[in-house]
Structure 1
Amino acid sequence: MTGFFHETAFYGSDDDFLALVVPFLEDGLRAGEGVVVACAQWNTGLLRDALGDDVLYLPGADQYSRPSESIAVYRDFFRDHTEAGARQLRVVGDVPHPGTGASWDWWARYEAAVNQAYAEFPVWGLCPYDTRTTPADVLADVVSTHPNIATAPGAHEVNPGFREGLPGTKQVEDELERCAPLVDLVGVSAGAVREAVGSAIDAIALSEDCAHDVVYAASEIVTNGLTHGVAPVRFRLWADDRRVLVAVSDRGCGPSDPLAGLVPTTATRTAGLGLWILHRTCDYVSMGQDSDGFTVRVSVGGHT
């Protein structure tokens, strides 16, 4: 097998999970492949009891608060092992979602992005999802982002539900948006937005780093909207005593590349690298279509 083989599976009990995953990993061990478990604590415990220390256990994606960090860590891992001579790696990993307490939008984009982000590596990645805890809309995104599916133990099939590009995740309104925004501007420059943001967050108990992240995020996404979006560009800011939310909307379609923001790029002068910095520094970044058009939401100062 060459390149990244991205597969999902669904299970409804711990026994079902083990029946799907243990043979997958044991086949890799028998073939002399590198075998890796990168699951959350519970599933890691189940697999450790079943397989002992014959496999390598890594922190699961839930240990990384941002999918851009997961991609960077796993790419480094895959590259190191490939350069050291590994011909094939098998990896089973959990992906955070609302059923495990995580916001889904950027993890849905992660599942789409890794089809490209890991494509150069000889990795067979299995992403099992627990139907007891995974919401239905998440399961729909999972089906659309995985080219392959394990329908039963040992049954690895092409997934007819796979679709290239971004998943169909809908934008979810942040709880702060239930109140009127502290700042609401249309058709202004990035400089004017930076000034308005600085004044608005002055009385909020943010660390110096978080305050800098809010100003940078506001400036970056307004600049991207003005450069790549369709006018009018609207900027809004909400806050409580611990967290700031900014949202920038325009009438364009937004980026179609699943990698946008999740990996660094210098393909354009104003987008790409700056968006990636947001994904590495802010607490949450959501991107997609809503009633206002294409909207980027950025939360700083607490987890949503």
Structure 2
Amino acid sequence: MRAGAAAGHRGHFHETAFYGSDEEFLAVVAPFFTEGLAAGEPIVSAFAPHNQSIVRSVFGGCAGILFADADAHYASPVTAIRRYGGLLADYVAAGATQVRLAGDVPHPGVGVPWDWWGRYEAAVNRVWDDFPVWGLCPYDTRTTPDDVLDEVRRTHPRIVTTAGQHHANPDFEPIEDFLRGRAWSWRDPVEDTEPLACLTDPAPAAVRATVVATATAAGVQAFEVRGMTLAATEAVTNAIVHGAPPVEVRVWAASGRIVVAVTDHGPGLSDPLAGMRPTGAATGGLGLWVAHQVCAFVSMQHRDGAFTVRLVAGRPHP
């Protein structure tokens, strides 16, 4: 039996909370953990160092809480989905009837681009719906930008207040509506300069050669060059097979960083979860999933009849 506000709920019970002080953070998180411990439910705490230290100051080395490395857990959305998914499967196999997850999702206020994390927050409503999971995503209003807070409200079906009240979120949107109405248009500042290379309807081999030469000259680390080469090849192949011509590839670079934008003039994605989990090769989803794993950042936008996949190797600009 599931306990607390999630009692009787099937699948992912996904909540957010907004706080403006350490005291308000604890007012949200402490009851969530305390109630779970009393019910004998597994708990995963994946907060950034400051918030993790607050939790530890209250709960210490409590055996019922797994203190996860937030940097490793939230290295990318697909990493978070894979790591959490593995933990959920293990806990359920061991007999858990509810698992509680709480953590700090990265955003520009902590120096990380938001675009794919917004998609992540929307996607996990479905990705984890086969598990009895209660996910809590608190956001600090002192550091989180307003446009991010707006998307947080649109991607969480439920909200818990610092007074402990749990209620349905009237601003929540299913993932299709969220992505369709999304105004987010992340661009790396280097895109305000002239591209170092522009290719039209290129062969994948030409794209690979351009990426390797540009990234190497920019001082991008070798393993990241290999990842970008694979991702750019997948993106171009998807554009050729599933998109519409012309296919345009633009490449920019700065010290230790390369940005590749692949644009076609097709309808874009049909699967809202593309890139977040492996999907059929027939839709191009497998290539996007690969790109999400090997790049430092990926964004996807459909605008004015053009679909663009942006890939970053090196440290992405927030």
Would you say same fold, with TM above 0.5?
yes
Match of 2:235, SS state, is helix
Moved more, 237-246 or 6-15: 237-246
1:291 CA displacement: 6.3
Aligned residues: 303
| Equivalent residue, structure 2, for 1:299 | 312
| Equivalent residue, structure 2, for 1:252 | 266
1:12 pairs with one of 20, 24, 27: 20
Contact map agreement 1:284 1:303 (CA 8 A) in 2: yes
Distance 1:200 1:100 in 2: 29
1:141 pairs with one of 137, 146, 151: 151
| Equivalent residue, structure 2, for 1:94 | 104
Match of 2:161, SS state, is strand
Distance 2:107 2:85 in 1: 21
Amino acid paired to 1:177 = E
| Equivalent residue, structure 1, for 2:65 | 56
Amino acid paired to 2:286 = L
| Equivalent residue, structure 2, for 1:264 | 278
Does residue 129 of structure 2 align to residue 119 of structure 1? yes
Mapping of residues 221-236 of structure 1, within 5 Å: 221-236=235-250
Amino acid paired to 2:287 = G
What is the RMSD computed on CA atoms of the aligned residues? 2.1
1:110 pairs with one of 113, 116, 120: 120
Match of 1:121, SS state, is coil
Distance 1:7 1:201 in 2: 40
1:152 CA displacement: 4.2
1:182 pairs with one of 196, 202, 211: 196
Moved more, 125-134 or 54-63: 54-63
Distance 1:208 1:246 in 2: 16
Contact map agreement 1:91 1:125 (CA 8 A) in 2: yes
Contact map agreement 2:188 2:316 (CA 8 A) in 1: no
| Equivalent residue, structure 1, for 2:6 | none
Which ranges of structure 1 fall in alignment gaps of 5 or more residues? none
Match of 1:85, SS state, is coil
TM-score by length of 2: 0.88
Contact map agreement 1:234 1:249 (CA 8 A) in 2: yes
1:129 pairs with one of 120, 127, 139: 139
Distance 2:66 2:137 in 1: 15
Distance 1:126 1:178 in 2: 37
Question: Cα distance 1:7–1:268, how it changes in 2: closer, same or farther (>3 A)?
Answer: same
Which ranges of structure 2 fall in alignment gaps of 5 or more residues? 1-8
Amino acid paired to 2:41 = E
| Equivalent residue, structure 1, for 2:254 | 240
TM-score by length of 1: 0.91
Moved more, 159-168 or 192-201: 192-201
Distance 1:158 1:284 in 2: 32
Distance 2:163 2:41 in 1: 19
1:187 CA displacement: 2.7
Contact map agreement 1:229 1:253 (CA 8 A) in 2: yes
1:290 CA displacement: 4.9
Contact map agreement 1:170 1:289 (CA 8 A) in 2: no
Question: Cα distance 1:133–1:191, how it changes in 2: closer, same or farther (>3 A)?
Answer: same
Distance 2:307 2:68 in 1: 34
Contact map agreement 2:45 2:103 (CA 8 A) in 1: yes
Match of 1:19, SS state, is helix
Moved more, 133-142 or 24-33: 24-33
Question: Cα distance 1:198–1:35, how it changes in 2: closer, same or farther (>3 A)?
Answer: closer
Amino acid paired to 1:11 = Y
Amino acid paired to 2:65 = L
1:30 CA displacement: 2.0
